[in-house]
Amino acid sequence: ALATTGATRWDVFPDAPTLLELGVPDSDLSGWNGILAPVGTPAEVVAKLNAAVGLALADAEVTQRLAAVGLTPHPTTAAGFGAFMADEFARYQAIAANFNLHLD
């Protein structure tokens, strides 16, 4: 790898610097994954799913397998993940506007 786009180096590519380290400002473009439910899913179902995912992410074997492919879990609540996604969408909308990018 020439460089990574996250805020920190990846454990799977420890010798690859980040773009931030190379002097590229505002280049923290970390990918993320999440589990979503349809709009209108009852809160108790969302809570049950969140608890099950939280238990899975607390399992050492699961975290080791995720780490082996460069993923670090960041468990949160449904509201916390919703706020994170809103921030990410706003961030990428600003990037698109800065470069005058439009969907046609």
| Cα separation, 55 vs 62, whole angstroms | 10
Asked if residue 38 is part of any domain, the answer here is no
Residues contacting residue 72 through CB under 8 Å, at least 6 positions apart:
66
Identify whether residues 27 and 48 lie together within a single domain.
no
Count CB atoms within 10 A of the CB of residue 69: 7
Q: Report the number of distinct structural domains present in the chain.
A: 2
| Cα separation, 57 vs 63, whole angstroms | 6
Provide the pLDDT for residue 11: 81
Identify whether residues 48 and 81 lie together within a single domain.
yes
Give the model confidence (pLDDT) of 20-53 as tens digits. 999 988 888 888 999 999 999 999 999 999 999 9
Provide the pLDDT for residue 1: 62
Identify whether residues 50 and 94 lie together within a single domain.
yes
Q: What are phi and psi for residue 4, nearest 5 degrees?
A: -115, 160
Residues contacting residue 1 through CB under 8 Å, at least 6 positions apart:
10, 13, 16
Identify whether residues 49 and 88 lie together within a single domain.
yes
Question: The whole model's pTM is what?
Answer: 0.76
Asked if residue 48 is part of any domain, the answer here is yes
Domain encompassing residue 61: 43-98
Confidence of residue 60 (pLDDT cuts 50, 70, 90): very high
Asked if residue 37 is part of any domain, the answer here is no
Choose between 90 and 6: higher pLDDT.
90
